[in-house]
Structure 1
Amino acid sequence: MERDDQLMKNLINKLSIGVVIADQQGQFLFTNQTIREMTGYTEAEIKTMKDWYKKAYPDPKSREKAKRYFEYDLENNIQDRTYKITTAAGDYKYFNFRYSQLDEEKMLFEIIDISHRIQQKQELKNQNIIFENFFTNSLEGIILLNSEFRILDANNKFEEIFEISKSDIKNKLVLNVVDLYEESNNIEKEINEILAKEDWENEVRFKVDNKIKYCNVHIFSVDNKEHDRLIYAVVDDITESKEREKELKEVKERLELAVSGATIGIWDWNAAEEYIHFNENWAQMLGYELSELENNLNTWLNLVHPDDKEQALKDLEDHLEGKTEKYYNEHRLKTKSGSWKWIRDIGKVTERDEAGNAIRIVGVHIDIDREKRAAAEIEYLSNHDELTGLYNRRYFNEELKRLSNSRKYPISIIVGDINRLKDINDNYGHSMGDRYIKKTAEAIKSSLRTEDIVARIGGDEFVVILPDTNYDAAEEVTERILDRIEEVNKNEELPEPLSVALGYETTDCKNQDHGIKNIKKCYNKADEKMYEQKFTGRC
């Protein structure tokens, strides 16, 4: 896990995009190298949002204005805004901030330095003509169009982006020169509206040499005596930054799932190519080496416990179809040793095609085996007597409440008490007394049906609940228990014979009010009969 976290940090540090993770109190939990280089501030100088505002906005009025914008964005779920900040060197830069919640406690800031783009747009808008040197050597592709969208001129970068020569495109309609990946009708409709606007900006995809190029296209116009109106189109090739953005998105998706800090396995499913990448933790969690696992869905499916597979597949299918925000399931997987291990499986679709079909799904496996087994053990201990393994008084009381609303009437109750257990403890020790208790528990349990309930509710006291059992049947069960006690005395070497007093009673079947009071009355009556039997002998 530490290795995966370090790899993620190294990867984020190499991105050209600034990355900051902050908690709800404004403490910076992580800043990558890029943001420190972009601003010139050290990690020690910027530890909190308060530090950031103080450094980036030395002027108090500007500082308060930036804070208000940020608070407004959070309240209105606006995730993107450009800020003008002061660097450590004292100059200004324009940063595009994109912020999103990693979870309820953490926020992710993605920061892109767009200073050069802002400056270029401002210069282009403030001047009637483009200086020849800037036009020729601009880092963005620029074409000059007339009002009919015929190309008058193009710079070197434009030629480079679209792999065409300026001499071959002059006086041609721009849509006949560039190959749009988008629906041309939609683009033409928008272009027809550009003349009615002061400027137009959008992201457009082009096909260049059978490859897709992502470009940010900014179009604006200026009045011109010779051509009436000149239209400038500035094309910024953002293909590389798009790829980095996708890379960052992948890191973010994995970071969202791994930020809990637990030892987890990561899986990355490319559904289109039917390929799944598992990390080493995923394999080692189940006792495998990564080289032993095939990279397909069957690797996981073949390991899922048969009793858990149907629900796991349903939960996965529901998420793939967009019915749930994320995929979540807890199931058992078979380890290499053949044992079963509980896994919490969480995933999310990160990419869909135009038809809405899931293309890529990323998720994690978290080992919850100890948690599950501990919970089961706690549940068992809370309801069972440690010495005999029978149910305890707590479970017995809950069953009485539950059966009060059931249809399993008549209900019979048998109460038993070991005779002279205190004398046995005093004369032969508590270990011998425990033996008498265990033998009594075995004799009672072996006399009952699967659906019957037997509990040890005191040191020497037992109680049996018999659903759907009338008075005569309860008498037969009582006799059977006493017969088992006699068998114990014949087969076991005990210092004194085991003796148990038993009393039984049945709820009044003619009474339609089969409430808890009736069951308690039945129990109390059986208890009274048990004490009577202690003095009169066998029932």
Structure 2
Amino acid sequence: MERDDQLMKNLINKLSIGVVIADQQGQFLFTNQTIREMTGYTEAEIKTMKDWYKKAYPDPEAREKAKRYFEYDLENNIQDRTYKITTAAGDYKYFNFRYSQLDEEKMLFEIIDISHRIQQKQELKNQNIIFENFFTNSLEGIILLNSEFRILDANNKFEEIFEISKSDIKNKLVLNVVDLYEESNNIEKEINEILAKEDWENEVRFKVDNKIKYCNVHIFSVDNKEHDRLIYAVVDDITESKEREKELKEVKERLELAVSGATIGIWDWNAAEEYIHFNENWAQMLGYELSELENNLNTWLNLVHPDDKEQALKDLEDHLEGKTEKYYNEHRLKTKSGSWKWIRDIGKVTERDEAGNAIRIVGVHIDIDREKRAAAEIEYLSNHDELTGLYNRRYFNEELKRLSNSRKYPISIIVGDINRLKDINDNYGHSMGDRYIELTAEAIKSSLRTEDIVARIGGDEFVVILPDTNYNAAEEVTERILDRIEEVNEKEELPEPLSAALGYETTDSKNQDHGVKNIKKCYNKADKKMYEQKFTGRC
């Protein structure tokens, strides 16, 4: 008999369910190995129902609640309930308890661990919630169809795209709900093949409120017990992006036409890869074919005029470091023929890395050579005498102001006047008079240093400004000019000898308050001396 009891215990210990036998006082008479493994509690820890409640429900409120449920079940002969208990490891598990009365003194508890099923159920519930949220609030339109392509459900975005209500389209054939711009026969043929394929995706045009909508449509099917097969159609409204794409294409075409017509060179510099793309105009602007140029920064650097390179690099570096909104510089580039051409170079960083380093810079080259040369010519003419090429009165007056506050003292001034120019004009014509003026200008200019300034300030009147020149040196320059005039008379066949009256004066004042006055006074004295010499001195 004892042997039979032991065999029974061994058998019960091997069951996959937990088994507990308790008496009427709540003492545990037997617990099998499975329940101990399920809970983690030992036989010594759990000897009574009181021990069980204390371990399985550490929270007093949960403990009292479990007790009330158990008492209620006993009173109402309810033999099955699921409890959430705490294991010895501190985890939560869901156990299904089944109660049965063995006799008046003993009760049998059969306990099944259903935690995995509860967890699966909860995960499925969560997945359903996620799917429902995704389906309802997706940024793409979604409709759910049965195998006959009748609409079972549609989300908010689908209603918005096609301007229809879900309640109005339910159970209707999808092709009777949406208005295709395409040939419907072709679409229907493709859709009918969906059930035999994994999925179908294409760009489709629809007519909505007399307007065309471009949509990317993705259709796929899944097996379903209730409906045999479910079909999902996902519709992404790409009308706006299509319109932008069209606008960008038109802008690009106009830009390319403008760039081509305006002879604008384009460069696109990938700084990370040290690669620069130049367009045809960039190369042809300098007389090159695009194939003759390497796609790197040195191509540009080697062509920049030495006098312009430092400033161009500084302006570029300032922009790369974010100090300026854009890169802007005007410099000269060497053409294939060896001449120099003025270029306006404008660029902007279009992409930076996380550290703020420039990755991509795009810019344009504009040919401003004619503009620059025209501006230089205008500036030259505004400051120079057309006949002699010497500076004019405007430049002379500005230079007097500038030198008055300079460190070029002492400053000497020579004033000269051609003798009898009116008689020469009257007797031999103004072209001969112009010849006398040109020869006088050459004689004066050839007698001076590079830093000296000579201007024609009237018909036959010339002025020389000699910076850093004292009175004695001014006298030597005056004598040298007169000698050059005598040399002209020896070389040139003139109807009458060329002669000029010269007067000079020096000022050494550096006082800024009186500098202008003193330098003007110096000019007036030189002018007066010139008139004194006109008929009495050496001419």
TM-score, with normalisation over the residues of structure 2? Answer: 0.55
Go from structure 1 to structure 2 and tell me whether the alpha carbon gap of 1:406 and 1:367 turns closer, same or farther (over 3 Å shift).
same
Aligned 8 A contact 1:128 1:222 in 2: no
Go from structure 1 to structure 2 and tell me whether the alpha carbon gap of 1:130 and 1:454 turns closer, same or farther (over 3 Å shift).
closer
5+ residue gaps in structure 2? none
Go from structure 1 to structure 2 and tell me whether the alpha carbon gap of 1:277 and 1:99 turns closer, same or farther (over 3 Å shift).
farther
Query: Which shows bigger deviation, 479-488 or 24-33?
Result: 24-33
SS at match of 1:506: strand
Larger radius of gyration: 2
Per-residue CA deviations over 1:101-141 (Å, capped at 9, x if unaligned) read 99999999999999999999999999999999995999949
Matches of 2:178 and 2:425, distance apart in 1 = 99
Go from structure 1 to structure 2 and tell me whether the alpha carbon gap of 1:161 and 1:61 turns closer, same or farther (over 3 Å shift).
farther
2:439 aligns with 439
Query: Which shows bigger deviation, 309-318 or 167-176?
Result: 167-176
Go from structure 1 to structure 2 and tell me whether the alpha carbon gap of 1:110 and 1:238 turns closer, same or farther (over 3 Å shift).
farther
2:35 aligns with 35
Matches of 2:141 and 2:508, distance apart in 1 = 94
Matches of 1:193 and 1:342, distance apart in 2 = 65
Per-residue CA deviations over 1:455-486 (Å, capped at 9, x if unaligned) read 00011100111112222221111111111111
Go from structure 1 to structure 2 and tell me whether the alpha carbon gap of 1:2 and 1:117 turns closer, same or farther (over 3 Å shift).
same
Matches of 1:108 and 1:391, distance apart in 2 = 125
- How far the C-alpha of 1:349 sits from its partner, in A, is 1.0
- How far the C-alpha of 1:262 sits from its partner, in A, is 3.6
1:193 aligns with 193
Matches of 1:105 and 1:52, distance apart in 2 = 19
- How far the C-alpha of 1:298 sits from its partner, in A, is 1.8
Go from structure 1 to structure 2 and tell me whether the alpha carbon gap of 1:407 and 1:274 turns closer, same or farther (over 3 Å shift).
closer
Go from structure 1 to structure 2 and tell me whether the alpha carbon gap of 1:521 and 1:137 turns closer, same or farther (over 3 Å shift).
closer
Aligned 8 A contact 2:194 2:200 in 1: yes
Matches of 1:3 and 1:430, distance apart in 2 = 153
Aligned 8 A contact 2:404 2:512 in 1: no
Per-residue CA deviations over 1:409-450 (Å, capped at 9, x if unaligned) read 221111100001111111112221111111111111111111
Per-residue CA deviations over 1:39-74 (Å, capped at 9, x if unaligned) read 999999999999999999999999999999999999
Matches of 1:107 and 1:410, distance apart in 2 = 129
Aligned 8 A contact 2:144 2:231 in 1: yes
Aligned 8 A contact 2:405 2:512 in 1: no
Go from structure 1 to structure 2 and tell me whether the alpha carbon gap of 1:41 and 1:483 turns closer, same or farther (over 3 Å shift).
farther
Matches of 1:367 and 1:102, distance apart in 2 = 107
Per-residue CA deviations over 1:131-184 (Å, capped at 9, x if unaligned) read 999959999498999999999999999999999999999999999999999999
Go from structure 1 to structure 2 and tell me whether the alpha carbon gap of 1:411 and 1:77 turns closer, same or farther (over 3 Å shift).
farther
Aligned 8 A contact 1:12 1:248 in 2: no
- How far the C-alpha of 1:206 sits from its partner, in A, is 30
2:100 aligns with 100
- How far the C-alpha of 1:309 sits from its partner, in A, is 1.4
2:262 aligns with 262
Aligned 8 A contact 1:102 1:256 in 2: no
- How far the C-alpha of 1:193 sits from its partner, in A, is 43
Aligned 8 A contact 1:253 1:362 in 2: no
SS at match of 2:129: coil
Matches of 1:404 and 1:223, distance apart in 2 = 98
Query: Which shows bigger deviation, 43-52 or 492-501?
Result: 43-52
Go from structure 1 to structure 2 and tell me whether the alpha carbon gap of 1:147 and 1:491 turns closer, same or farther (over 3 Å shift).
same
- How far the C-alpha of 1:275 sits from its partner, in A, is 2.1
Matches of 1:181 and 1:11, distance apart in 2 = 74
Matches of 1:18 and 1:117, distance apart in 2 = 17
Go from structure 1 to structure 2 and tell me whether the alpha carbon gap of 1:483 and 1:510 turns closer, same or farther (over 3 Å shift).
same
Go from structure 1 to structure 2 and tell me whether the alpha carbon gap of 1:536 and 1:8 turns closer, same or farther (over 3 Å shift).
farther
- How far the C-alpha of 1:299 sits from its partner, in A, is 1.6
Go from structure 1 to structure 2 and tell me whether the alpha carbon gap of 1:191 and 1:286 turns closer, same or farther (over 3 Å shift).
same
Query: Which shows bigger deviation, 171-180 or 93-102?
Result: 93-102
Per-residue CA deviations over 1:299-337 (Å, capped at 9, x if unaligned) read 212211111112112211221222211111111111111
Go from structure 1 to structure 2 and tell me whether the alpha carbon gap of 1:97 and 1:423 turns closer, same or farther (over 3 Å shift).
farther
Matches of 1:323 and 1:24, distance apart in 2 = 89
TM-score, with normalisation over the residues of structure 1? Answer: 0.55
5+ residue gaps in structure 1? none
Go from structure 1 to structure 2 and tell me whether the alpha carbon gap of 1:128 and 1:273 turns closer, same or farther (over 3 Å shift).
closer
Report sequence identity in percent.
98
Matches of 1:310 and 1:68, distance apart in 2 = 91
Go from structure 1 to structure 2 and tell me whether the alpha carbon gap of 1:392 and 1:247 turns closer, same or farther (over 3 Å shift).
same
- How far the C-alpha of 1:272 sits from its partner, in A, is 2.3
